[in-house]
């Protein structure tokens, strides 16, 4: 039996790569994902050994190299450079070491498919033995290369509807896959008042019965997840049970489901759709026909798994600058990393997160609670509220005593931070509910104090700033095909609202609603 010195050495061997081949793969990955890290062969030899050539400890790994390895494998550099944990022959080393959440996926899938306990884990292990990482990477790259408008056009034709969110402007006509209604737009509802009245309910949820085709698709999802180092954790998610959105407020109800149930059912529809478009074969969509066959199913949120997200355009006031120019708002756009479950490699607003509880399911149901947590996690550096790296041990992770310095400063004085819901829709790609929001930091002192500290977490491979005074670049931005449909929905809703309230800091293009 082969003995490995580090988890990194083990993971490279599991990919059936030599060290030279892995160096080439890392170089290609860094270019494709805009990672600044580099990795030479001699450096890699020291890393897999866990020691320097003379036997001395490795010491601190360069931050850019650590980030590159963490992005490729979905594990921290400390884990990658540690000795592997010995396991019995029946256990999957990849599944157990790099993806702790897969244990919950195995249990759920065995129950849903009617398999004996341990079957899903065995199928994953068998799938990994024959999986070609290069082929899987190529498939993921092809999926990521499908343009946003192609996806939107396909789902509109499938559901025979034109009622999806879009805008028109000068030489501009953009449509998304987000089904919406006139009363779900132009909301401007504060997320710090009584305008938001979502309630938590309890429903008896039976495990769905998966047929053979659906179960096989779920196994293949787990194989790709494990082989490509995608982060996967069985976290609780809010599922929509009822919705009532309009100018008077946000009403409705949610219950608590599991990420596994969503990831192995409804979330498979996005990949199936992208594969069908990429192949150009015009094949049927068996999973979509099963899980989300028509508009009645889309609108029946209580009768299906309807998970959701909160996406926000963040606008940060900046003072006049001798190089940049007049006072404006900095608008932040992210490129999603290859480690995320969905919208990998796509443009999106930031933060973009699932609507889910941390430790208090009833209090955390507020959209404002999710949005504050996502700001802390995705921009303000709070890794302790990222539950994908392990369960939180804090009783109240978002207690004011645990806030980051930027969040504490924003909350110290009323009026520094404004959060609004700008729109709502149901994404025809996967049936998700999408709350578009706008976060405006009004006090321009924030930027000199904290602008240099803003940094995306592992979910993003890069950030780009746009000025609210640069109508030309923003017009070009909204037409880029690299957007996720839900990300563009939130961006456009936010831009339209910011144009109304931004005053002299804003010189944005005028977008009129279309498709409603």
Alpha helices in 90-196 (DSSP H): 93-98, 102-113, 119-130, 133-144, 148-159
User: What token pair was written down for 189?
Assistant: 């509802």
pLDDT of amino acid 249: 94
Query: What one-character DSSP code corresponds to residue 464?
Result: E
pLDDT of amino acid 85: 60
Q: 147-213+231-262+293-391+399-514 belongs to which homologous superfamily?
A: Nucleoside Triphosphate Pyrophosphohydrolase (3.90.79.10)
Residue 97 CA to residue 76 CA, distance in Å, equals 11
Residue 471 CA to residue 509 CA, distance in Å, equals 6
Q: Are strands 512-514 and 164-169 parallel, antiparallel or unpaired?
A: antiparallel
Cα–chain center distance at 132? 25
Mean pLDDT per 10-residue interval, the chain, length 516 residues:
80 82 86 80 88 74 83 76 59 43 86 91 85 85 88 94 90 92 94 90 77 91 87 88 94 94 94 87 80 96 94 97 94 89 86 92 94 95 78 85 96 94 97 97 96 90 94 94 95 96 93 79
Cα–chain center distance at 37? 23
Residue 440 CA to residue 314 CA, distance in Å, equals 6
Tell me the domain boundaries of the chain. Answer: 7-81, 147-213+231-262+293-391+399-514
pLDDT of amino acid 132: 85
User: 59 CB contacts (<8 Å, ≥6 apart)?
Assistant: 52
Q: Which of 305, 312, 311 is nearest to 290 (CA)?
A: 305
Phi, psi dihedrals of residue 415, rounded to the nearest 5°: 95, -10
Instruction: Name the pTM for this structure.
Output: 0.80
Q: Directed axis angle between helix 63-73 and helix 7-14, to 10°? A: 50
User: 138 CB contacts (<8 Å, ≥6 apart)?
Assistant: none
Residue 317: strand pairing partners: 329
pLDDT of amino acid 92: 39
pLDDT of amino acid 93: 40
Q: Which of 378, 391, 375 is nearest to 336 (CA)?
A: 378
pLDDT of amino acid 152: 94
Q: Which of 227, 221, 26 is nearest to 129 (CA)?
A: 227
Q: Is there a contact between 51 and 57 (Cβ–Cβ < 8 Å)?
A: yes
pLDDT of amino acid 515: 67
Report CA-CA distances (Å) from 372 to 275, 416, 440, 444, 507.
35, 14, 13, 19, 27
User: 346 CB contacts (<8 Å, ≥6 apart)?
Assistant: 144, 148, 335, 336, 482, 483, 484, 487
pLDDT of amino acid 56: 73
Report CA-CA distances (Å) from 231 to 4, 234, 257, 455.
23, 10, 19, 19
């Amino acid at each position: 039996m082969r003995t490995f010195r580090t988890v990194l050495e083990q993971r490279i061997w599991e990919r059936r790569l030599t060290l030279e081949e892995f160096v080439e793969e890392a170089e290609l990955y860094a270019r494709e994902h805009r990672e600044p890290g580099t990795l030479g062969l001699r450096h890699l030899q020291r890393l897999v050994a866990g020691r320097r050539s003379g036997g001395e400890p490795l010491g601190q790994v360069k931050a850019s190299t650590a980030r590159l390895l963490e992005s490729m494998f979905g594990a921290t550099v400390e884990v990658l450079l540690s000795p592997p944990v010995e396991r019995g022959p029946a256990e999957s080393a990849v599944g157990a070491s790099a993806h702790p959440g897969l244990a919950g996926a195995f249990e759920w899938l065995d129950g849903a498919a009617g398999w004996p306990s341990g079957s899903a884990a065995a199928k994953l292990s068998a799938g990994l033995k024959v999986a070609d990482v290069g082929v899987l990477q190529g498939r993921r790259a092809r999926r990521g290369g499908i343009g946003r408008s192609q996806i939107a056009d396909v789902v509109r034709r499938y559901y025979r509807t034109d009622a999806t969110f879009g805008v028109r402007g000068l030489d501009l006509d953009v449509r998304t896959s987000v089904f919406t209604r006139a009363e779900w737009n132009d909301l401007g509802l504060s997320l710090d008042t009584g305008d938001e009245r979502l309630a938590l309910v309890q429903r008896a949820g039976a495990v769905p019965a998966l047929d053979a085709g659906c179960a096989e698709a779920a196994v293949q999802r787990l194989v790709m997840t494990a082989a490509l180092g995608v982060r996967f954790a069985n976290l609780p998610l809010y599922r929509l049970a009822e919705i009532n959105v309009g100018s008077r407020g946000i009403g409705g109800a949610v219950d608590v489901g599991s990420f596994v149930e969503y990831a192995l059912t409804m979330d498979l529809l996005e990949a199936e759709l992208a594969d069908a478009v990429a192949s150009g074969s015009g094949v049927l969509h068996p999973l979509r026909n099963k899980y989300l066959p028509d508009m009645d199913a889309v609108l029946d949120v209580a009768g299906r798994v309807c998970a959701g997200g909160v996406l926000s355009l963040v606008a940060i006031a900046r003072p006049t600058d001798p190089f940049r120019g007049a006072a404006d708002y900095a608008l932040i756009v992210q490129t999603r990393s290859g480690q995320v479950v969905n919208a990998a490699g796509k443009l999106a607003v930031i933060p973009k997160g699932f609507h889910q509880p941390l430790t208090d399911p009833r209090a955390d149901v507020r959209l404002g609670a999710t949005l504050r947590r996502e700001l802390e996690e995705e921009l303000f550096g709070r890794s302790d509220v990222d539950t994908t790296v392990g369960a939180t041990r804090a009783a109240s992770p978002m207690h004011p005593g645990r806030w980051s310095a930027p969040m504490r400063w924003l909350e110290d004085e009323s009026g520094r931070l404004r959060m609004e819901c700008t729109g709502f829709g149901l994404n025809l790609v996967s049936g998700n509910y999408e709350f578009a929001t706008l976060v405006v930091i009004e006090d321009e002192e924030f930027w000199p104090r904290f602008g240099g500290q803003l940094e995306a977490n592992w979910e993003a491979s890069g950030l780009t700033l746009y000025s609210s005074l640069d109508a030309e670049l923003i017009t070009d931005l909204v037409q880029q095909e690299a957007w996720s449909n839900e990300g563009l929905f939130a961006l456009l809703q936010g831009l339209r609202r910011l144009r109304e309230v931004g005053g002299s800091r804003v010189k944005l293009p005028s977008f009129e609603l279309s498709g409603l």
